Amino acid sequence: MINKKLIIPSVITLLALPVAVLAAINFNPPSGNAVVQPAVVVVAILNFIWPIIVGITVIMFLVAGIMFMSAQGEPGKLQAARSMVIYGIVGIIVTLLAFSIIGIVQLGTGIF
């Protein structure tokens, strides 16, 4: 079901994300101390990934809708379309939980 041609570019992209985030962090603040808070790095990564996840979710729901319309009552195709909708919903829930966890941790540590 997964296209094997997309696995390697996806893995390379995911491995390159920390490099992109760390490139945006100023390691030489005016005071001369290089302080990077883990919460700031995680929030930067999530802010970078958020539009990608939303785009993938929208595409996933569109493809699932097309699969529902083209299934013509075949149980196998209907099940595949239902699975795609479920995966999209799970993806949204996981994404929202990821952002919620950052907020909860920041409240618990007093970092605002």
pTM of the model: 0.55
Does position 55 have pLDDT exceeding 80, yes or no?
yes
CA distances from 47 to 28, 37, 51, 71, 91 (A): 22, 16, 8, 36, 16
How far is Cα 71 from Cα 59, in angstroms, rounded to an integer? 18
Closest C-alpha to 1, from 89, 63, 62: 63
Match 């979710």 to its residue by tokens. Answer: 57
Quickly count: other Cβ atoms within 10 Å of residue 61's Cβ: 15
> Is-contact 61 85, C-beta < 8 A?
yes
- 59-111 confidence digits (pLDDT tens): 888 888 899 888 888 999 999 999 989 988 888 888 888 778 777 776 666 55
